[in-house]
Each structure stands twice: as C-alpha cells, then as structure tokens.
Structure 1
Amino acid sequence: MKVSEAMHAPAEWVKADTPVFEVAVRMAKDDIGAVPVGHDDRLIGMITDRDLALRVVAKGLDPQKTTAEEVMTPGVVFSRTEATVEDAVHLMDLKKIRRLPVLDDNRRMVGMLSLGDVAHATGLQLAGELARAVAAHHR
C-alpha cells in the first residue's frame, strides 16, 4: 500500500514566526499533536505537544511571544506519496518518530502519516510493531 492511500489530508503547516499560543490553539482545535513549521515555502521543522510542554511551559516562556521556530524540533523527516507504508514505517522506526509529513513529487506537503493512520490502513500488527519501536522506555 502506498503512503498516499494511508495518510490523512490535507495537512497544514505554520510559519516559523507563529506564536506558540496559536500553534497550541490549532492543535486543540484540530485534535493533533504535531504541526510542521515552514519558512520561505519550505518545511524547516516540527513542533509537537511535547515541545510545547517541555520547551515553553516547563521553562516559563511566554506563549504569546515565543515563536514556533524557537521551540520546534529542527529538520524534517518526511515520506513521499509514492513510498510504501512499510518503507514509511521503517523510516519512522529508524528516526523514532510517530508522525511523518508526506510530500508529493513537487515537494509540496500534501498530508501526514501518523501511527493511527498506519493502524487504520494496515492493521494492528504493523502498527503495534511501530508503536513498540518508537516508544521510548523512561525510567
């Protein structure tokens, strides 16, 4: 199965200078845990709910003044629409990530592939393997 058949679309991104308060509002409204961050029409990072908790709230930063670029995880690991879900899962496992932006042949973001998408598209075995692989054990 191709990633384009399993991903959810559309997917949006925020500009690097977006206040994290707006990012959090978007996450709550759309019930999502990660938002890609872009600058000059290129993806430059991801901001997750965990980034907001650890890099904004825990440090006492002002969410109205702190920008997405200041607290995002830099760099973007992505998949292509034509890749197989199995290849995408392998990449997610290798990079220990749970959400993957999906780009088309024009390098435009057209969707996101999440652990939930994998579970719905392929069944619980592959999703279970992915969940186990990306879940960090904390002591």
Structure 2
Amino acid sequence: MHVSEAMHKEVRSVTPTMPVKDLAKIMKTEDIGAIPVVENDRMIGMITDRDLALRAFSDGHDISMLTAREVMSPGATFCHATDRIEEAVHMMEKHKIRRLPVMNAQNRMVGMLSIGDISHCGSKPLTDLLMKSVSEHHA
C-alpha cells in the first residue's frame, strides 16, 4: 500500500508570521496536534502542541508577541505520496514522530500521515512497532 492511500488529504498549514495565540486556537478548534509551516509554497517547519508547550508557554514568553517561526521545529521530515507505508513508518520510527507530512513529486504538501492512519490501514505488527518506537522516551 502507498502513503497516498492512507493519508489525510486535507492539511491545515500556516505562515511563519502567524501569531502563536492564533495557532493555539486553530489546534483547539480543529482538534489537531501538528501544523506545518509553509512559506512561498514550501514547508519550512512544523509546530506541534509540544512545541507550543515547551517553546512558547513554559519559558514565560509574552505569547502575544511570538510567531510560528519562533516556536516551530525547522526543516521537518516528510515522505512522498508514492512511498510505501512501510517506508513512511520506518521514517516515523527513526525520527520518533507521530505525524508525517506527505509531499507530491514537486515537493508540495498533499497530505498528512498519522499513527491513526497507520493503525487503520497497516498491519498490526507494523502498527505495534511504530507505537513502541514513538512512545519511547528520548535519550
């Protein structure tokens, strides 16, 4: 099975200048835990709910002044829609990530692959392996 058959096709993205307070509202309203940051039609980073907690809220910053660029994880990992699910899972395991942006042949974002997507379409052993890997504590 290819990633294109399992991924979410609608992906919410934001610009690097979006205020963090607006990002948090989007995450809450749309019930999402990660938002790609796109500039000039290219993904330049990713913001997760963990990024917000650790880079914006925990350090006592004035969140009314912070932007997506200041809290994002730059240079996000991604896969391609034509990749096999197993390849994407191995990438998620390697980088210990729960969501993987999906690009087309022109490196334009066309979807997002999540642990939930894998659990619905992948084999049980593959899902179990992924869950174990991304749930381990970071060294």
Q: Give the structure-1-normalised TM-score.
A: 0.94
Q: Which residue is 2:98 aligned to?
A: 98
- Return the alpha-carbon distance in structure 2 between the equivalents of residues 31 and 124 of structure 1: 26
**1:54-133 alignment runs, 5 A limit:** 54-133=54-133
Runs in 1 of length 4+ with deviation above 2 angstroms?
A: 136-139
Q: Which residue is 1:31 aligned to?
A: 31
Amino acid at match of 1:14: V
The Cα shift of 1:101 comes to 0.3
1:57–1:90 distance in 2 versus 1, CA, 3 Å:
same
**1:10-21 alignment runs, 5 A limit:** 10-21=10-21
- State percent identity of aligned pairs: 50
Q: Per the alignment, in what secondary structure is the counterpart of residue 52 of structure 1?
A: helix
Q: Which residue is 1:48 aligned to?
A: 48
C-alpha RMSD over aligned residues? 1.5
Amino acid at match of 2:98: R
- Return the alpha-carbon distance in structure 2 between the equivalents of residues 64 and 2 of structure 1: 41
| Per-residue Cα deviation, 1:38-68 (whole angstroms, up to 9, x for no partner) | 1222111100000101111101122221001
The Cα shift of 1:138 comes to 6.7
Amino acid at match of 1:46: M
- Return the alpha-carbon distance in structure 2 between the equivalents of residues 111 and 76 of structure 1: 14
Amino acid at match of 2:90: H
- Return the alpha-carbon distance in structure 1 between the equivalents of residues 6 and 62 of structure 2: 37
Count of paired positions? 139
- Return the alpha-carbon distance in structure 2 between the equivalents of residues 78 and 88 of structure 1: 8
5+ residue gaps, structure 2, are none
5+ residue gaps, structure 1, are none
| Deviates further, 117-126 or 52-61 | 117-126
| Deviates further, 120-129 or 36-45 | 120-129
- Return the alpha-carbon distance in structure 1 between the equivalents of residues 65 and 52 of structure 2: 13
- Return the alpha-carbon distance in structure 1 between the equivalents of residues 137 and 17 of structure 2: 33
- Return the alpha-carbon distance in structure 2 between the equivalents of residues 114 and 63 of structure 1: 28
